[in-house]
Structure 1
């Protein structure tokens, strides 16, 4: 049971750091005197950093086990917001954000692999609830971040988040499940799958995570710039989404077992589409925040279902499908928001959120492929 709580703490810490990044974006706009398009390029650097490091950590997981990989990623990720806060100019901020994306992405791949290892060791699904702890951390980081920045400044906020993360990691990391291959075990081949199912599941995860990334990186800017909300209120855009996501993810494993992965995914996609439409059409901050909260209910279990389905594809080596879906999925949450910054120069963010509701037709159409997530019933 201890290993289950230890990996859950890692998800919470990762979510706390990522959620604390969200209220820093309006601060960067003001501190660097840049446009939304330039900020979008900085956010794009975060995504590129993650996609560069995810395969590196994936290879480390395959060869040395997830515990060693996640330990390295977590210790590097904990102080990463400090780098961004003390960087003095545009180029140093861009470099710090690139490194931030790399260590956060590497930690993400490794902790998901450790959660899969715990699932197999306990013969019980925990993926949705692990992502629930991530959302709980993101809710805490985004919800309190704006207020802490207003009260004590950007650097104090980063130091506070780092202290909390380091304390949590000091407890969790020594208690993780050890899953390193035996010294005489054959090394896993580091090659891409030759069947199309993992890539289609990856596309499902990617299009499910684009809206989450758009809310993470742009909800605060949308509420502050287009609706006139204060910085403290603007931070609640992503916080509302993260809060409902956390609640639904803690229920997700039981819901999937009762209704099946395919039906759960279809209902989730429909709810997320309604929430994004409400956020895009809202005329006051309260309506947009309510829309983000509704979107969180729908988005919550779409990616955990895709990850679980990928980890249980028949005839595919353990972890291979998971690596493909993780990298493809997180490219959505990391790269797409940078493109949104460019689009925001030409379209309103409200219009963009309406377009993202339409994008969710893709996972809705691919939902039948999630049937392999129902491994507990086989």
Structure 2
């Protein structure tokens, strides 16, 4: 048995694949329900925008800690225990913000939300790697597409309940119960990979640990790509409103073009990755993203800018899933811990991107500040071949 062999069923684990889809959708739905209700929660608790910004940093910090705690626990306790537990914790925590009455009660609940979100993020990605090993082709990007679908469902439901004046605490509590139900129902179908013993290689020699530099290199690429994604999430609509002088309703199409293109791209990426390989997906996807955002920067015409944001989303769609897969396959003995580092660094980028662009926008026009993610995408293009040093997914 080689160093990366893992004992899995010979038939594709379809039930586990569907279950993992549900966990990704659950996570996207929970995050989406929180985001949709931020304005009403801000009003209910009486906090200012600046206080909300600080509390969002608390949430992000708690998520990062959750990732670092969950990673080793995945390896120690197993995914069939950790992933459902994280889903249940996130469901319970989701009700908290709706019950908060001031800044400190909201802060306490957001710590739980962040910790639960970070825990399930690492756990479900580790499970996705295990499920993918049972297939003859890549399937990781489709799991990430399901996260986007969950967020879209949350946006629709959240908008409907807000329009119907359903109390926020009721909506979030019921949403949390739904998350708990899904986590429990899907748990029985999860897989638990069996890894070889320390000296189970053909020559009897101990298995080597993956180079630390390779792990951090994957994390650095995830940081750059997810920072770029965060920029689009928070600044695409503002770019249309402030730079192109569009209406608020038209500005919404900027983020819409990016999000739709990214979701579609994630559903398509797996088929392409099976042909060209993960390194090509990361490299040429980053190049496509750089071209798309460059169009946004230099062309002050709404139709072209819409195309630019769509190309940007399509280019970013497949890169991060390939990096997570590579991290999870570096060493099956410590897959969770390794993924926690890469996912954690990516998450730091997702949080840092909007803040960095906001800081640069004080000194230069917003579209010029977008040069930062363009540079990071170009660096990712040149750094993408590092994936060729990672072990094959199968």
Cα deviation digits, residues 63-94 of structure 1 (max 9, x gap): 11112111111001124343223322233333
Distance change >3 Å, CA 172–CA 47, structure 1 → 2: same
Match of 1:158 among 160, 165, 172: 172
Deviation at 1:217, TM superposition (A): 4.7
Q: Is the 8 A contact 2:195 2:333 kept in 1?
A: no
Distance change >3 Å, CA 105–CA 262, structure 1 → 2: same
Q: Give 1:345-360 correspondences, 5 Å limit.
A: 350-360=367-377
User: Which residue in the other structure is 1:99 paired with?
Assistant: 112
Q: Is the 8 A contact 1:209 1:333 kept in 2?
A: yes
Are 1:176 and 2:193 counterparts? no
User: Which residue in the other structure is 1:132 paired with?
Assistant: 145
Cα deviation digits, residues 99-156 of structure 1 (max 9, x gap): 2221101100011111112223445432112112112222333455445434435445
Distance change >3 Å, CA 116–CA 290, structure 1 → 2: same
User: Which residue in the other structure is 1:361 paired with?
Assistant: 378
Deviation at 1:284, TM superposition (A): 8.7
Distance 1:47 1:347 in 2: 27
User: Which residue in the other structure is 2:93 paired with?
Assistant: 80
User: Which residue in the other structure is 1:2 paired with?
Assistant: 15
Match of 1:216 among 218, 221, 233: 233
Q: Is the 8 A contact 2:47 2:103 kept in 1?
A: no
Are 1:325 and 2:338 counterparts? no
- Residue-pair matches, total: 366
Distance change >3 Å, CA 258–CA 111, structure 1 → 2: same
Q: Is the 8 A contact 1:118 1:177 kept in 2?
A: yes
Are 1:305 and 2:322 counterparts? yes
Distance 2:236 2:170 in 1: 23
Deviation at 1:350, TM superposition (A): 4.6
Distance 1:25 1:279 in 2: 28
User: Which residue in the other structure is 2:62 paired with?
Assistant: 49
Out of 23-32 and 327-336, give the one that drifted further: 23-32
Distance 1:100 1:326 in 2: 17
Out of 17-26 and 60-69, give the one that drifted further: 17-26
Q: Is the 8 A contact 2:289 2:312 kept in 1?
A: yes
Out of 91-100 and 40-49, give the one that drifted further: 91-100
User: Which residue in the other structure is 2:132 paired with?
Assistant: 119
Distance 1:82 1:286 in 2: 41
Distance 2:339 2:32 in 1: 24
Deviation at 1:240, TM superposition (A): 4.3
Question: Where do 5+ consecutive residues of structure 1 fail to align?
Answer: 187-191
Are 1:249 and 2:262 counterparts? no
Q: Is the 8 A contact 2:222 2:323 kept in 1?
A: yes
Q: Is the 8 A contact 1:138 1:242 kept in 2?
A: no
Q: Is the 8 A contact 2:224 2:349 kept in 1?
A: yes
Q: Give 1:194-343 correspondences, 5 Å limit.
A: 194-217=211-234, 228-229=247-248, 238=255, 240-278=257-295, 291-313=308-330, 319=335, 320-340=337-357
User: Which residue in the other structure is 1:66 paired with?
Assistant: 79
| TM-score (norm: length of structure 2) | 0.78
Distance change >3 Å, CA 124–CA 262, structure 1 → 2: closer
Cα deviation digits, residues 221-261 of structure 1 (max 9, x gap): 7678885525xx77766554333222221221210121222
Of structures 1 and 2, the larger Rg is shown by 2
Q: Is the 8 A contact 1:19 1:137 kept in 2?
A: yes
